[in-house]
Amino acid sequence: MIIRRVLNNNVVDALDDSLQEVIVFGKGLGFRSKPGERVDQTLVEKVFRLEDDAASRHFASIVDSIPAEILTATADLVARARTELSAKISDSLYASLADHFVFAVQRARDGGDFTVPLAVEVRRYYPSEYAFAKSAVAELNSRLDVELPEEEATSIALHVINAQVGGAADSAARLMELTHSILDIVRLHFGLHYDDADSAYLRFVTHVRFFAQRVLLGETVQRDDAELLRILTEQKPTAFASVDKVDAFVKRSHGHAMSASEKVYLGLHIANFL
């Protein structure tokens, strides 16, 4: 690896052997180092591989203010999140988590308040992210010798969710609002009472989450399902009538016209728990 910039005594911006930009951490790694020199591999503790240029610049801009132990914990948790969670996670998570951990640890040591909005929604709609976040709290408490409360799991989960939907600060809130709206349309259409323990309902929520995420990202699933949609609409008119309401809502609120494939999958999920 070749050094591009020395960020501080412990962190350098470098190019790896594939000429990909990486941020490399190691005690004393940047001390007396100069651009163009090779990285001393014996000092390397963590390598942050960020494919997104904007995320890389943001991370590089804050890394000087992040304690070493939080940098390494962040790298390990991002790697775990990418392994354990099914959704693609943006490089923006490195900077947002590291920055958040600095303030969370300081707040815990100062005895500050950890009240977080959206806690109920996160647990209900994002159980996997919340479970990951709870384990992250336990890991941070052990590694950093701090006592982050259980409420901190909601904040961590929100950062993970944001990193799945473009990285904007309000991405998670917008995603949960859209998910909740779609679930409400179906619930009110049929006069349902959702059972959080019902496996068909949980599969439906998961599907709606990913559909809502695609809507916010401007993505559409397009397959040749027009004929299948016609057949299913005739066979299951009750279920697919509610799909038309969802289609009208996302078209009006987000300019998203549901494809035949999206209508097929949503309708089948609804039919499964009617």
Tell me what the mean pLDDT of segment 12-28 comes to.
Answer: 87
Kindly state the DSSP code that residue 65 receives in the 8-state scheme: G
Two domains, one topology: 1-49 and 171-272: no
Question: What pLDDT does residue 244 have?
Answer: 94
Assign 3-class secondary structure to 203-254: HHHHHHHHHHHHHHHCCCCCCCCHHHHHHHHHHCHHHHHHHHHHHHHHHHHH
Residue 273 scores a pLDDT above 80: no
In this structure, what is the dihedral angle of CA atoms 160, 163, 165, 166, given to the nearest 10 degrees? Answer: 160
Question: What pLDDT does residue 102 have?
Answer: 93
Average pLDDT, the chain: 88
The token pair at 196 is 């959080």
- Spatial distance between the Cα atoms of 111 and 233, rounded to a whole number of angstroms: 57
Question: What pLDDT does residue 10 have?
Answer: 87
Q: pLDDT digits over 145-169, tens only?
A: 999 998 899 999 999 998 887 666 6
Q: Where are the domains of the chain?
A: 1-49, 53-169, 171-272
Tell me what the mean pLDDT of segment 132-145 comes to.
Answer: 95
Contact 258, 267 (CB under 8 A): no
Least confident segment among 48-57, 105-114, 218-227: 48-57
Sign of the torsion formed by the C-alpha atoms of 49, 51, 53 and 54:
negative
- Spatial distance between the Cα atoms of 199 and 217, rounded to a whole number of angstroms: 27
Topology at the third CATH level for domain 53-169? PTS-regulatory domain, PRD (1.10.1790)
Question: What pLDDT does residue 9 have?
Answer: 87
CATH number of 171-272: 1.10.1790.10
The token pair at 219 is 């993505």
- On whether the pTM is more than 0.75, the answer is no
Q: Is 24 exposed, middle or buried (0-12, 13-18, 19+ CB in 10 A)?
A: buried
- Decide which of 258 and 59 is more confident: 258
Q: pLDDT digits over 199-255, tens only?
A: 888 889 889 988 998 998 888 888 888 999 999 999 999 999 999 999 999 999 999
Question: What pLDDT does residue 118 have?
Answer: 78
Confidence class for position 22, pLDDT limits 50, 70, 90: confident
Architecture of domain 1-49: Roll (2.30)
Q: pLDDT digits over 69-96, tens only?
A: 898 899 899 999 999 997 788 888 998 9
In the block, tokens 């009208």 appear at 248
Question: What pLDDT does residue 169 have?
Answer: 62
